Amino acid sequence: MPELPEVETVKRGLATALEGRVLARVLCRTAKLRRPVPPDFAARLSGRRLLRLRRRAKYIIAEFDDGTAMLLHLGMSGRMTISAAAPAQFDKHDHLIFMAEGGPVVCFNDARRFGVVDLSTTATIDAHPLLAALGPEPLGNHFNGPVLAAGLRGRGTAIKPLLLDQRLVAGIGNIYASEALFRAGISPRRKGGSVTGGRADRLAVAIREVLEAAIRAGGASLRDHVQPNGELGYFQHAFQVYGRTGEACVNAGCGRPIQRLVQTGRTTFFCSNCQR
């Protein structure tokens, strides 16, 4: 499942291909993904100039010259590909196709159909039901230690599952929750309400750092090896604890084995020596 850094990388790739361009032709080849696709989707976007692409949590927002805004979520398996021209034949899971005037063709392929696409307006998109309840953007100016501590105040639940609550902070998935807690030296089992003061500051900084490092890796993947199929956003990234059960902790002077734990159905990786 794409996490925030992958979505940011996809957004940047799409911006390079489509920002400022007129979508000469838009095809919609399905009536429903996770939710119904607006029936006039293709008609409303065809002929429109795409002014700006931005990201909110794991949603991509495209703003058009007539005030229309498109909301897109990649779901579990959604993929975006860019090609120089439309293929002779589309794949059966190529649901949305955006053909830019005199330029690239962007295709949204989603075999499992957990993706979401909707239309709104640039003026009202942030109040969309899927976006309205989201907490602060972890890379934005309104997220820091005191904001995080305020969201955690009085919470008796363990910090790790709380980090996955999109109302606390938007866009943190399972991988980066483990990575951020490791970097901050905080046990995934610590009660959320006890993450205050300097500890909350460290965690807010760690969240930002792990996401930014992954986005840099994603940016490098775009520059260095554009995949032959033009696919955006999936890249290899080295994790410090995620998926490393039994391997030695990377912290200097530690070297104890990384442990694995299941919390509210999600796997957590951590070092019991370095995280308290």
The residues carrying an active-site annotation are 2-3, 58, 266
Number of residues that bind Zn ion (CB under 5 A): 6
Phi-psi region of 119 (alpha: psi -120 to 50; beta: other; left: phi over 0): beta
**Considering the complex, what minimum distance in angstroms separates the CB of residue 16 from Zn ion?**
40
- CA angle 180/186/191 to nearest 5° reads 115
State the Rg of the chain over Cα. Answer: 20
Instruction: Among 18, 119, 168, 271, indicate the residue that binds Zn ion (CB under 5 A).
Output: 271
Q: Which is closer to Zn ion, CB of 122 or CB of 251?
A: 251
Distance, CA of 260 to CA of 72 (rounded, Å)? 33
**Considering the complex, what minimum distance in angstroms separates the CB of residue 237 from Zn ion?**
20
The pairing of strands 23-28 and 94-100 is antiparallel
Chain residue at closest Cβ approach to Zn ion: 249
Instruction: Among 15, 251, 257, 266, indicate the residue that binds Zn ion (CB under 5 A).
Output: 251
Q: Which is closer to Zn ion, CB of 226 or CB of 254?
A: 254
- Segment contacting Zn ion (CB under 5 A): 127-135, 148-156, 186-194, 267-275? 267-275
Per DSSP, the three-state class of 197 is: helix
Q: Which is closer to Zn ion, CB of 12 or CB of 160?
A: 160
Residue 210: C-alpha distances to residues 12, 107, 176, 184 (Å): 18, 29, 7, 10
**Considering the complex, what minimum distance in angstroms separates the CB of residue 254 from Zn ion?**
3
Q: Quick one: tokens of 92?
A: 């059966």
Q: Quick one: tokens of 134?
A: 């989201």
Distance, CA of 251 to CA of 135 (rounded, Å)? 31
**Which position has the token pair 């696409």?**
117
Give the x/- contact pattern for Zn ion in 196-235, rule: CB under 5 A: ----------------------------------------
Instruction: Among 163, 249, 269, 270, indicate the residue that binds Zn ion (CB under 5 A).
Output: 249
Host H or E run for residue 9: helix 4-18
Q: Quick one: tokens of 131?
A: 């976006």
Q: Which is closer to Zn ion, CB of 107 or CB of 180?
A: 180
274 binds Zn ion (CB under 5 A): yes
- Segment contacting Zn ion (CB under 5 A): 39-47, 170-178, 197-205, 268-276? 268-276
254 binds Zn ion (CB under 5 A): yes
170 binds Zn ion (CB under 5 A): no
Per DSSP, the three-state class of 80 is: strand
Binding residues for Zn ion (CB under 5 A): 249, 251, 254, 271, 273-274
